[in-house]
Amino acid sequence: MNTSPQLVIGYIGNGKSTNRYHLPFALNRPDTIKVKSIYQRTLGKGGWASIPGVCYTDKLQALLADEEIQAVIICTPVDSHPALVREVLEAGKHCVVEKPFALSVAEAETLFQLAEEKGLMLQCYQNRRFDSDFLTTQQVIESGKLGKLFEVNMHYDYYRPDTPAKETSYQKDHAFLYTHACHTVDQVLSYFGQPQEVRSDVRQLLGNGRMNDYFDLDFFYEGLKVAVKSSYFRVKSRPSFVVYGTQGVFIKETEDRQEADLKKFYLPAGHADFGLDSPEHYGTLTYYDQDGCYHEEKVPSMRGDYARYYDALYETIIHGAPQLVTKEQTLAQMKILEKASENLY
């Protein structure tokens, strides 16, 4: 059994998810995280460079039988999640599952029940809680300069018409709602909590029976509306965040820059400016103060860092801290997505 202060982990899957959104951050915490093994069904497929010191295997049972490995991260297509989660939990390992966690509430509930029976941690990977634009927006809200909050608009836009055009039939696991709303809905639930009501507008812009390529979800709280909107057909993206209060407005035009750097293989290790906004990316806060004086100022962006998910995971498994992403939050998200998908048109 592991006796070191490190959390020893293994991965199932060796594609973009593992190599772009996990390994650069897990490997950037060498004092607390040790990546020991990566399982890939077909070794070498995909062209990702091997990480020195990491064991690559095409034998899943070898990874699961390794007593040193304490937690396994599942980074495979969502339809494979239920069977793999069961295998990981039956092997006595804690488990982290990429978004979307599952394709149905019933499926998710069954997996959480098994984890509880085994006395193991099961958690969804919600790294977007550590997006710079989201963290900066929270900071502005908590400054009180906006006054009483009454409206938040969150946008996650692309112009990628070829993506839905290639889909000739509707598949739930490819739906924009499940592959992208899983980011922003979690941000809403993690910061604002459970809403009183959710209304949805989920569309197939290329016609009935085609890919879901648009969604608009409205979350209603006491005196507050939070809207999450996304589309594959936005030639010009809307601001990442627009927040209105009784005394002002905060507009953050651009989204977190970690992904942009990762796509260029500009990694957090060795680059102090990884993911950092430049001044031209800063949001603008416009407000009236208590004396009625008008202010307009740029807000330096907070640093985003997906490695903070691994910091929290370490604290949970090694020191028994509460989970960052709770079962209740994951199930609430799944219920929202499931109900919204029923109104697809």
DSSP secondary structure string for all residues of 107-129: HHHHHHHHHHHHT--EEE--GGG
Residues 141 and 249 in one domain: yes
Residues 102 and 189 in one domain: no
User: pLDDT (tens digit, 0 to 9) for every residue of the chain, 345 residues total?
Assistant: 445 589 999 999 999 999 999 999 999 999 999 999 999 998 878 789 999 999 999 999 999 999 999 999 999 999 999 999 999 999 999 999 999 999 999 999 999 999 999 999 999 999 999 999 999 999 999 999 999 999 999 999 999 999 999 988 998 888 999 999 999 999 999 999 999 999 999 999 999 989 999 999 999 999 999 999 999 999 999 999 999 999 999 999 999 999 999 999 999 999 999 999 999 999 999 999 999 999 999 999 999 999 999 999 999 999 999 999 999 999 999 999 999 998 888
What's the residue count for the chain?
Answer: 345
Residues 139 and 97 in one domain: no
For residue 336, is it within any domain? no
**According to the model, what pLDDT value does residue 329 have?**
97
Residues 97 and 232 in one domain: no
Report the DSSP beta bridge partners of residue 298. Answer: 284
Q: In Å, what is the CA distance from 141 to each residue of 148, 217, 247?
A: 9, 21, 11
For residue 332, is it within any domain? no
The number of distinct structural domains making up the chain is: 2
What are the E-state strand segments in the chain? 7-12, 33-39, 55-57, 71-74, 94-97, 122-124, 149-155, 197-203, 214-221, 224-231, 241-245, 248-252, 283-288, 294-299
For residue 221, is it within any domain? yes
For residue 341, is it within any domain? no
For residue 330, is it within any domain? no
Domain boundary among 67, 90, 125: 125
The residues, any chain, with a CB within 8 Å of residue 232's CB and separated by 6 or more, are 158, 159, 160, 161, 163, 164, 176, 205, 213, 214
CA-based angle 75:157:76, to the nearest 5? 10
Peptide bond into 30 cis (omega under 30): no
Burial 75-96, CB ≥16 within 10 A → b, else e: bbebeebbebbebbbebebbbb
* Domain span at 93: 7-125
For residue 313, is it within any domain? no
For residue 320, is it within any domain? no
**According to the model, what pLDDT value does residue 343 have?**
83
Domain boundary among 76, 106, 125: 125
**According to the model, what pLDDT value does residue 46 have?**
77
Q: Residue 37's domain is classified under what CATH number?
A: 3.40.50.720
How many CB atoms within 10 Å of residue 67? Answer: 9
Q: Residue 178's domain is classified under what CATH number?
A: 3.30.360.10
Residues 293 and 145 in one domain: yes
Residues 197 and 231 in one domain: yes
CA 2 to chain centroid: 29
Residues 135 and 114 in one domain: no
Residues 33 and 161 in one domain: no
Residues 299 and 172 in one domain: yes
Residues 279 and 228 in one domain: yes
Using DSSP, state whether 19 is helix, strand or coil: helix
Residues 72 and 99 in one domain: yes
**According to the model, what pLDDT value does residue 2 have?**
47
For residue 1, is it within any domain? no
**According to the model, what pLDDT value does residue 5 have?**
87
Domain boundary among 58, 92, 125: 125
Residues 164 and 64 in one domain: no
**According to the model, what pLDDT value does residue 44 have?**
79
